[in-house]
Structure 1
């Protein structure tokens, strides 16, 4: 699998917990993992999610380049996932909610023609899910 040309890179702590959440909620598969030299944190992880790549690492405040989201803070970016079938959105939102995600928008049929939902994972990152309402889109 070739890596997509654009991939979000999340700073998340604990990264090991986020990897477990993304695996359980979104069906992520680990493609790469590099532990940090301190043996306590993850320096880099690449996950394959829904045909794309999401990269993540623990926060390294000693380098001062990134931090994790603060509780209740408004986000400046979201990760968008596109699915083929509306029921996939419903299933993922239900699973993510059971795993501790805060559902911001329950699955709904949008005026723009998709099954839409939005959630915030337990680590503060926002995810947007869409699937076409027309089941013939996406080859299904």
Structure 2
């Protein structure tokens, strides 16, 4: 047994890993490659071709993808999603144009945000909401809170 094995693989360090459950994981992985420049790392498929587990990388972030089976549901079957996936990328404007060309729905056009990022928000054809960001300014948490509270007109 290798005693040097890390308990947390580098690709998972300091992150909560999203496991995106969809109806049609193979098609979703193809869409994520076209729209977001995702690279498939590997997949495990059942005898019927359904994807039990796959991993893709978008901008260096690992996202797990699989065909939705109990206890999970796809956003389409659930009637919506309760989460948004935030991924930092090198050029959010380029990604946004590519995603729309591939069939994503725009929820927010590129915009500079008070917390120092340029951000877009899209919905993929499988019902998941994605926020892609490109960091433009390093803003300390206290300043983010101040700007956000000022923008919202609250005391924080």
Q: Which residue of 1 aligns with 2:73?
A: 67
CA–CA separation in structure 2 for the residues paired with 1:126 and 1:30: 20
Q: Is the 8 Å Cα contact of residues 76 and 126 (structure 2) preserved in structure 1?
A: no
Structure 2 unaligned residues grouped into runs of 5+: 1-8, 139-156
CA–CA separation in structure 1 for the residues paired with 2:104 and 2:78: 13
Describe the shift of the 1:73–1:107 C-alpha distance in structure 2 as closer, same or farther (beyond 3 A): farther
Does 2:7 align with 1:4? no
1:134 is displaced (CA, Å) by 4.0
- RMSD across aligned C-alpha pairs, in angstroms? 2.0
Structure 1 unaligned residues grouped into runs of 5+: 136-140
Instruction: Give the counterpart of 1:79 among 56, 79, 85.
Output: 85
CA–CA separation in structure 2 for the residues paired with 1:111 and 1:59: 36
Describe the shift of the 1:101–1:56 C-alpha distance in structure 2 as closer, same or farther (beyond 3 A): same
Using the size of structure 1 for normalisation, the TM-score is 0.82
CA–CA separation in structure 1 for the residues paired with 2:116 and 2:77: 32
Q: Is the 8 Å Cα contact of residues 71 and 124 (structure 1) preserved in structure 2?
A: no
1:117 is displaced (CA, Å) by 0.8
Higher relative contact order (CA 8 A, sep 6+): 1
The alignment of Structure 1 onto Structure 2 pairs a total of residues equal to 128
SS for the counterpart of 2:111 is strand
CA–CA separation in structure 2 for the residues paired with 1:19 and 1:26: 10
Q: Which residue of 1 aligns with 2:40?
A: 30
SS for the counterpart of 2:81 is coil
Q: What are the residue-to-residue correspondences of 1:33-72 with 2, within 5 Å? A: 33-37=43-47, 39-60=48-69, 64-70=70-76
Q: If you compute each CA radius of gyration, which structure gives the higher value, 1 or 2?
A: 2
Instruction: Give the counterpart of 2:105 among 86, 99, 102.
Output: 102
Using the size of structure 2 for normalisation, the TM-score is 0.74
